[in-house]
Chains A and B, each alone.
Chain A
Amino acid sequence: MNEALWALGRGTGVVSLALFTVSVLLGILNRSGRPLFTLPRFSVALVHRNVALLATAFLAIHLVTLFGDSYAQLRLVDFVVPFLGAAKPFWLGLGTLAVDLMLAIVITALLRGVVGVRVFKAVHWLTYLMWPVALLHSIGNGTDVGQTWFIAFAATCSIAVVAALVWRLSRGFIEYQNVRVERAS
């Protein structure tokens, strides 16, 4: 039973990271104001949200299953307060930190209309902290780090996010940026 929980805990962790990666990519695309091939802009926005919610659901299973794992020795406080863990406290703490950030990001995003644009945007920027923290947690805490498939997976996610970031910071990232800049000057 323990073995099964452990396997499920690892599997859901990997799926969650994959989904968060996709959500980050879609969030950046959303910010650019561009459609995705034939997928219109409002669909990009909706898929971005839904993938993030799905990632959150997998993250929840990840936490619950590993709570039952005797090696990880998790206490409830480890789900909320980082760096207090019994085994690998630093790497586990990064995971806890990512969960805290993720909760803040998802809750303020869903309650956008209530908290207002400023709070939403400010908290949403924490995504750029949350994603690398979650990745480091998976590398530092994971049992599968030595495996080729995991290395390939982590590398693929990293390359995708770094590429998206480079695009995010490039000129012409925003759909009408070039027109707006040209006409204004």
Chain B
Amino acid sequence: MNLRTPEARGPAAALLHIDWTRCDGRGLCTEILPELLARDDWGYPLAYGYGSAGAGSNVPVPDTLLAAAADAVSLCPRQALTLVDP
């Protein structure tokens, strides 16, 4: 199933908050959440389906990707990610 548009992913169960002052574009989160995140030209995460600006600092995460998002939060080497209520 192609989950690369916000519509296909459905309602957000949580928001993946990216703290840009911490993120160093290491690409672990984009590997763990390939349905949700691509890497921009500099290696930083960019949410699919929101145009070139991405979803900004809060990426809506559907229910099905919640567990993967939690893994990304705990594995980000810069502790740049948190899950917040939508």
Contact = CB atoms under 8 A, between A and B. Distances in A.
B41 interface: yes
A112 interface: yes
Interface stretch (B10-18, B20-28, B46-54, B57-65): B20-28
Interface residues of B, number: 17
Interface residues on A, range: 10 to 19
Interface stretch (A17-25, A37-45, A70-78, A95-103): A37-45
B79 A175 contact: no
A180 interface: yes
Nearest to A33: B26
Per DSSP, chain B at the interface is loop
B86 interface: no
Contacts of B43: 33, 175-176, 179-180
Interface in A70-123: 112-113, 116-117
Interface string B67-85: 0000100110111000000
Interface of B: 22, 24-28, 31-32, 41-43, 71, 74-75, 77-79
